[in-house]
Structure 1
């Protein structure tokens, strides 16, 4: 059973040893050396399993576990030098599926990876390739979007934001939450960058749809996906304004990609 495995380990020798054993088992292995990269790579490559060292720079493994578990069911195997019961229970409470304490046997690690993959394959339902909410349809494998049957060409960030919103219709996502899910830990991304992407996304989705509103601004909070209703100049009219503090000048940045 071959799998795509992401290994987050800042010790180069340990990472190399893990790679050797997992590749011998037929797996495809990616290596990152810090927590921030682990989050970004897990989001972009969607591995079948994550081998995660607890003690890492930038963002530690426990925070990586907590963040990824909030948005994904990827199996997580923690590697930790902390052997107290409290430390191990904390890792499991944050969403880890299993753990190994250092030093460990690479053969045992390989066996635990295989066991986690078997359990995950048996338990996980097939993820839908096409998301449909009202008149919106997103094919996550072909990266295609249709609004009321009309093809809509989006940039990568616009597509990612739309996918986040469609995952939980009617839920209000703050700009900070959108930054976390779409841009990861890129500290250079400002809230008004999200506003610019959402403005472009809304314009593309609503073009030619007779006043249909898809993305609504909840003033002072963030954005949410509507079911695709016919808008009127009232409560829906707020959807054309900035989600945060007035006067940020976000509309002038509509060409940001």
Structure 2
């Protein structure tokens, strides 16, 4: 049984053709033709991904995205006929995982769908941060105790149940091996790097990355700061892993697009800026003065080195965190 997609669009011809393409690709498809129908159908549960048009009757796509994100991290790909930066930026800020401008090739959209779904499913195929529904895998929506659709108690599973560690963030696919295959000279091109010439910190490939009070469990798709679970979207989890594997190494926006988004992304580099800002809002004690995810002005972003984190939080750098390497 394929993943269940909620297709939300009021253009009958587009819906007919896209539904056929998605079903031929092995997905189950449900359709809503306005924003109100979309929210009602999503609340019933069982949706693995939403394709959401921006311009909808009743309730617009941005409002639908905002409402869904109040209770769920289910992947959302937004569609629009308006190729305007403001639409892209606002959609991503509200939590959309990707953005496609009409007209588009259905094969491109299907490739993007599969890339997003790979990121939210661990190797065992159990979705993390997507809906709970009988016979289709278990999911956890952060620490809210709710599934992707409907209130707690309506098929929802509290954090910690069903998924080891009560996963609050998804990062399958790219997260499990984030940064693998990246060019060895990426950091040097950015003008700053630490660690061995061809790798990051000693624990770069470990299942658990410890960066001061921050613990990133890649096997359980769980992030905690000083023991407190953090709820991240799949994209935010991937971005954090890529940066944290190589403390001190600067990544340009283009490199982050390639490594985190994982394919030829059609958006511009401001997409990265939006994602970093959202990550900081969830991660940093003071997002205006970030401790973990730093900016190298005019170049890109990097994860703080162990000594810098230790100075902020006190104590010695954690073993294996990259401290003391040349």
TM-score computed with the length of structure 1 as normaliser: 0.50
**Greater Cα radius of gyration, structure 1 or 2:** 1
Which one has a larger percent helix, Structure 1 or Structure 2? 1
